Amino acid sequence: MSMNDVMALEHQVYMPTYKRQPIVLARGEGCYVWDEEGTRYLDLVAGIAVNVLGHAHPALVRAIKEQAGTLMHTSNLYYNRPQVEFAEMLVRWTGMEKVFFTNSGAEANETAIKLARKFGKKHRNGAFAIVTARQSFHGRTLTALAATGQEKYQAPFTPLPPGFSHAVYNDLDAIRRLTTDETVAVMLEPIQGESGIHPADAQYLRAVRAWCDERGLLLILDEIQSGIGRTGTYLAAESLGVRGDIVTLAKGLCGGLPAGAVLATGEASSFEPGDHGSTMGGGPLVCAAGIATLHAIEDEGLMANATRVGAYLLDGLRKLKRDTGILARARGRGLMVAIDLEEPWAPDLVNQAREGGLLVNSTGPSTIRMVPPLTITTAEVDEGLAVLGDVLRQR
C-alpha cells in the first residue's frame, strides 16, 4: 500500500476531524522522522510537545520493552510499583504532595476540575465556579471545552457544563471582576500554547497567586504543554516563583506514551475513596516510561539544554526577522517558541517547510509553533533555520 493509499483509506474509515499533513510517518530517531517513502524530516513539532526525549530514545525504549514483557496493566484494584515510584519522583521534582494519573491532558483537567469542585463542597460552602482565560486551551472533553476560552471549539457542542467564565489573559483585574462567592478556583496556562505561545507575565502570575490566597481560591495551573522541562524548569511556573495548588501534566510526561497527571498540595487534595478513578491511569507500562523519561531529563541535562538551545532558536528567528522582513515577531520561552507572520500564510509556510524537510505547525493563520524534543542541538536548530530562511526568502 502506497502513502497515497493509506491517506485514501484514512478518508474512508477515519472520522474527518483532523487536517493532516500529506505524509505517512514510518519511523523516528532523535529529532528526525522518516515517512514511508524514506524522506527525512527535522521534527520541530515532536508530536505536539510530546516526544521530549526525541524519537526512539534508547533508555526509554529499553524501559518500555522491559516493562511490557513483565507487567503491562493491572487496573487500580492493586498496587503497582512503577506507579508509586513515578508518583514519588513527581512529588520530589515539583514540590507538590499528591498525584493522580490519567490517560490524557483533557482527562487530567477534568480531574483537576472535579478536585476543585470537591474542595468547594468540603471547604468553601459549595463554591464551584472556575475563572479561566480567554484564548486558553484545556482539552476537548465537554468540561475541558467549557474551561477552554475559545468559542470556535465550543460552539458546535453547546450546551456545555456550567460554572466557567473567561478573563482576559495577563489582566488581574479581569479575574477580580469575575470572582464571586461561587468561585472556587482560577485555572491558567503559565504559557498559552494552542493559541500561539503567549507567556504569562511573571508579575501577573504572582498577582493571581496573591488574589487566590486572599480569596481562598485554588490556583490550577495547566502545565500540559509548558511542563516537563520545556522552558528550563520542570514546571514553567517554577521559574516565575509561583506554585499552583493543583497542576496538570500530560504530553511529554511519559516520553510519548499516553498519560496525564494531576498534582495537588495536601490541602487541595480533597478526593476521598470512591470519588474518582481510571481503569488505565497510572498503569505500570506508562509509569515505567515516565520514570525513564525523568531519569533521562536529569542525566542528560535536558532542562538546561531547553534553556540554552531555546534561546539560540529564538535568537536565530529574530535574525531571520531582520534579514527577511516577513516575520512580525518571534517569541517564547525555552523550547516553546512561535513566530508571527506579517501575512496569514502560515499553512503555506508549513507545507513549504515540509517540502524542504522541516516539520513545524501552525496554531493560526499567521502563527507558526515550534516545540521540538528537549534533546535538540544547536546544529539541528541551524538546519531548521536554514529551511525556514529559504522558505521566507522565496516568499
Give the integer Cα–Cα distance in Å for 197 and 339.
Answer: 9
The residue annotated as part of the active site, out of 100, 101, 128, 137, is 137
Give the contact letters, 8-27, x = binds to ligand PLP (CB under 6 A), - = no: --------------------
Find the part of the chain contacting ligand PLP (CB under 6 A) among 30-38, 220-228, 261-269, 360-368: 220-228
Our CB check for ligand PLP shows the closer of 163 and 316 to be 163
| CB contact at 8 A, 28 and 51 | yes
Within 10 angstroms of residue 208's Cβ, the number of other Cβ atoms is 24
Could you confirm whether 137 is annotated as catalytic? yes
Per CB under 6 A, 30 contacts ligand PLP? no
- Secondary structure (3-state) at 318: helix
Per CB under 6 A, 196 contacts ligand PLP? no
Within 10 angstroms of residue 152's Cβ, the number of other Cβ atoms is 7
| 338: alpha, beta or left? (left if phi > 0; alpha if psi -120 to 50) | beta
209 Cβ contact partners less than 8 Å away, ≥ 6 residues apart: 219, 242, 243
Please report, as residue ranges, which positions from 314 to 373 form the binding site for ligand PLP (by CB under 6 A): none
Which neighbouring-strand residues pair with 187? Answer: 220
Binding ligand PLP (rule: CB under 6 A), the pick from 98, 124, 138, 369 is 138
The string over 224-246, giving b where at least 16 C-beta atoms fall within 10 Å of a residue's C-beta and e elsewhere, is bbbbbbbbbbbbbbbbbebbbbb
The residue annotated as part of the active site, out of 98, 118, 251, 321, is 251
Binding ligand PLP (rule: CB under 6 A), the pick from 53, 106, 167, 220 is 106
Could you confirm whether 222 is annotated as catalytic? yes
Total residues at the site for ligand PLP (CB under 6 A)? 15
| CB contact at 8 A, 297 and 52 | yes
Give the contact letters, 39-58, x = binds to ligand PLP (CB under 6 A), - = no: ---------x----------
Per CB under 6 A, 116 contacts ligand PLP? no
- CB 189 to ligand PLP: min, Å: 5
- Between the two ends of the chain, the Cα-to-Cα distance in Å is 35
Our CB check for ligand PLP shows the closer of 30 and 332 to be 332
Per CB under 6 A, 194 contacts ligand PLP? yes
The string over 172-194, giving b where at least 16 C-beta atoms fall within 10 Å of a residue's C-beta and e elsewhere, is bebbeebbeeebbbbbbbbbbbb
Per CB under 6 A, 137 contacts ligand PLP? yes
Per CB under 6 A, 102 contacts ligand PLP? no
Could you confirm whether 323 is annotated as catalytic? no
Q: What are phi and psi of 281, to 5 degrees?
A: -55, 135
Per CB under 6 A, 250 contacts ligand PLP? yes
Which residues carry out catalysis? 137, 222, 251
Binding residues for ligand PLP (CB under 6 A): 48, 104-106, 109, 137-139, 189, 193-194, 222, 224-225, 250
